[in-house]
Amino acid sequence: MTKAQFDDLIHAPARLRICGVLRQVEQMDFAVLRDTLDVSDATLSKHLKTLAEAGYVSLSKAASVSRSDARRLTWITLTRAGRNAFDAHLRALHEIAGIAD
């Protein structure tokens, strides 16, 4: 069982939401994550960069046949370290809120 561990880097509201959505899936396209959270490209990119630097997310590019320009799909994955940190942070939030898991 994951031990509760409050993580200041994850707890910033946008990053908490990013991790919360990514925790549900194996991988997600940048555009789907942006639309789900209703944030701008720049905001999402900034927080993903912070999470990637911490080793919590990884980004990979793939060619897109549906786009006429040279843009590529960006797939985002919550890494094992990211999943562990998020789970521990979630447990800490449950403890603070006084909610049993």
Partner 1 sequence: MENDFERRPSPYEAAASLRDLAADRHALANGVQVPKMLMAALGGVAAWWVAGAAAANPGENYEPPTSGWLGLVAALVIAHLIRRETGIRFRQMGLRAGLVAVAILVLCLALFSISLGLVSFGARWAVVLTSLCAFGMVTWLAGIAFRSALDQLRR
Q: Which of 1, 69, 98, 100 binds partner 1 (CB under 8 A)?
A: 98
Q: Considering the rule CB under 8 A, would residue 93 count as an interface residue with partner 1?
A: yes
Largest CA distance in the chain: 51
Tokens encoding 78: 């919550």
Q: Considering the rule CB under 8 A, would residue 20 count as an interface residue with partner 1?
A: yes
CA dist list (Å): 73 to 22, 28, 36, 80, 86: 16, 10, 16, 22, 25
- What residues line the site for partner 1 (CB under 8 A)? 6, 8-9, 11-14, 16-17, 20-21, 24-29, 31-32, 35-37, 64, 66, 73, 75, 90, 93-94, 96-99
